[in-house]
Amino acid sequence: MLALSLFFLLLIRVVNGDDEDDLVFELTSDRPRFGFHGTRLSRVKTITIRVGNEVSYEIGYTQNGCNNLDTENGNVKCDDKPPFTIVDVALESPKTGSRVYGVVPSGRGTVFTWIWQVNARSELIFQAPPFGDSFSLEYSVTVQINDDNGEIIPSFPGLRNNGVNSPLTFSVLFQYGTIIANPETYDEIKNGPLVMVKALHSGNVDDFCPGQSIECHPDTIFSFYAGPMPIPIGPETLNDEFLLTKVRGGVPVYSRNTVTTVTTTNGCSFCLVFDTRAASEFMHY
């Protein structure tokens, strides 16, 4: 059994859709989050996140791997600088972290995360590195209006076709997990992205997230959304405007969206299996 989402949704209003070099997206109180893959930023001059008035933001940044790893005193820390700048904003005092992910059947990798707070601005203008300044690691950025929306949970950047020939896994120990597809794995004009996402509960997780504390029971229903995590509209109720499907654990969902989020109504931890390579490479899983 599988669930297949065959439509592509524009979740955030594009203010200047005709300008392919300077993209502008508008956040609102109903849609307070937006995410993009680093490859998308590298293909344009700027990506602007705009709000109608001055607000504070949280910026979540996830990087797959590290060029300058610090393991002093037994702690694993990444000393890389973010491969982007924000006009007139100094990114300081981040909250940092890391998480291990799995490569089916038995590989491992690590992503590193940064969270910054930015106050009193009506827009954030992201710029890619100067021409010739290469950054080989894949990354994703998520921005949210900091207005009682809870702490941002950084997304996971989808991989390009670079020799990782099997799905990836990680444990979602918080409220939700968000995957952002890599534009290098799809043609936006011809077919758009295709991301395989599968949530696993405590009864079918052993081969994918071994040794992790998985709380979701076998009767858990998982909700899959197009875009970042939707906002609550009531106790244990989310805005289902961009709901793709609801399924039990172990059912693969194929999403045609650049950003796909998985969550549960009770907030239990689960194992997330996903694949963002070109569709022809993983449809047999």
7-21, 55-69, 113-127, 196-210: which range is least confident on average?
Answer: 7-21
81 token code pair: 């600088």
At residue 149 the predicted structure's pLDDT band, cuts being 50, 70 and 90, is: low
The 3-state secondary structure of the chain reads CCEECCCCCCCCEECCCCCCCEEEEECCCCCCEEEEEHHHHHCCCEEEEEEEEEEEEEEEEEEECCCCEECHHHCCEECCCCCCEECCECCCCCEEEEEEEEECCCEEEEEEEEEEEEEEEEEEEEECCCCCCCCCCCEEEEEEECCCCCCCCCCEECCCCCCCCCCEEEEECCCEEEEECCHHHCCCCCCCCCEEEEEECCCCCCCCCCCCCCCCCCCCEEEEEECCCCCEEECCEECHHHEEEEEECCCCEEECCCEEEEEECCCCCEEEEEECCCHHHHCCC
pLDDT, average across residues 137-144? 94
| pLDDT digits 0-9 by tens, 81-135 | 999 999 999 999 999 998 888 887 667 888 999 999 999 899 999 998 765 556 7
> How confident is the model at residue 163, as a pLDDT?
53
Which pTM does this prediction carry? 0.86
- pLDDT at 34 > cutoff 70: yes
Q: Are 120 and 45 in contact (CB under 8 A)?
A: no
pLDDT in tens, 197-250: 999 888 877 667 766 788 999 999 999 999 998 876 555 667 788 899 999 998
Q: What is the pLDDT of residue 256?
A: 87
Q: Could you check whether the bond before residue 105 is cis, i.e. omega within 30 degrees of 0?
A: yes
The mean pLDDT of the chain is 82
What percent of the chain is predicted at pLDDT more than 90? 41
Q: What's the pLDDT at 106?
A: 67
Q: pLDDT higher for 151 or 135? A: 151
